[in-house]
């Protein structure tokens, strides 16, 4: 039968002293856990984590999709078609901001402009379908900023 050799105990160890108010907390199996006051680190899904090495070309598409940069309008043809369909006076105050799932978001400075354009929505959609059919715009959404 093997003899059990007593080990030196650490006074801050909660398993040795039986105190749980100081030092690390202990679970039922005796292993210590981190303090609840420390914040947990949230790791993004689908991209490289700290310590991993990844190419910027692999990370950038995930970030662009997450933060919505893909949806922003970069097409000058759509902006020109909007200006042509709406007229020069309203084109100066109402501008396209984003296109999502066939819905074109238009930024206007005042609710009166949004109401005027909402009355003309079917006319504007027909003009946009004629000028830029590849964009497939089915709805207009007016945002006041």
The reply to whether 131 and 119 lie within a common domain is: yes
SS3 93: coil
Q: What is the pLDDT of residues 88-137, one digit of tens each?
A: 899 999 999 888 889 999 999 999 999 999 999 999 999 999 999 988 99
**pTM, to two decimals:** 0.50
The reply to whether 83 and 133 lie within a common domain is: yes
Q: Residue 101's domain is classified under what CATH number?
A: 3.30.300.180
* Cα distances (angstroms) measured from residue 130 to each of 4, 102, 106: 89, 15, 18
What string of DSSP letters covers 45-60? SSSPPTT----HHHHH
The reply to whether 64 and 95 lie within a common domain is: no
The reply to whether 59 and 77 lie within a common domain is: no
* Full residue range of the structural domain in which residue 102 is found: 72-144
The reply to whether 123 and 76 lie within a common domain is: yes
Residue 56 is assigned to a structural domain of this protein: yes
The pLDDT, as a whole number, for residue 144 is 93
The span from the CA of 39 to the CA of 37, in Å, is 6
Number of domains in the chain: 2
Q: What is the pLDDT of residues 70-80, one digit of tens each?
A: 555 456 788 89
Q: What is the pLDDT of residues 1-60, one digit of tens each?
A: 566 666 665 555 555 555 555 555 555 555 555 555 555 555 555 555 666 777 887 787
């Amino acid at each position: 039968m093997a003899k059990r050799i007593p080990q030196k105990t650490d006074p801050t160890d909660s398993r040795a002293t039986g105190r749980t108010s100081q030092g690390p907390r202990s679970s039922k199996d005796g292993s210590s856990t981190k303090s609840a006051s420390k914040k947990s680190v949230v790791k993004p899904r689908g991209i490289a984590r700290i310590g991993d090495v990844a190419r910027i070309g692999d990370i950038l598409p995930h970030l662009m999709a997450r933060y919505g940069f893909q949806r922003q309008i970069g097409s000058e043809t759509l902006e020109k078609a909007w200006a042509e369909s709406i007229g020069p006076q309203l084109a100066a105050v109402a501008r396209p901001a984003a296109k999502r799932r066939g819905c074109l978001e238009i930024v206007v400075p005042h609710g009166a402009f949004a109401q005027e354009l909402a009355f003309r929505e079917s006319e504007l959609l027909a003009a946009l379908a004629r000028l830029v059919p590849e964009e497939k715009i089915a709805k207009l959404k007016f945002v006041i900023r």
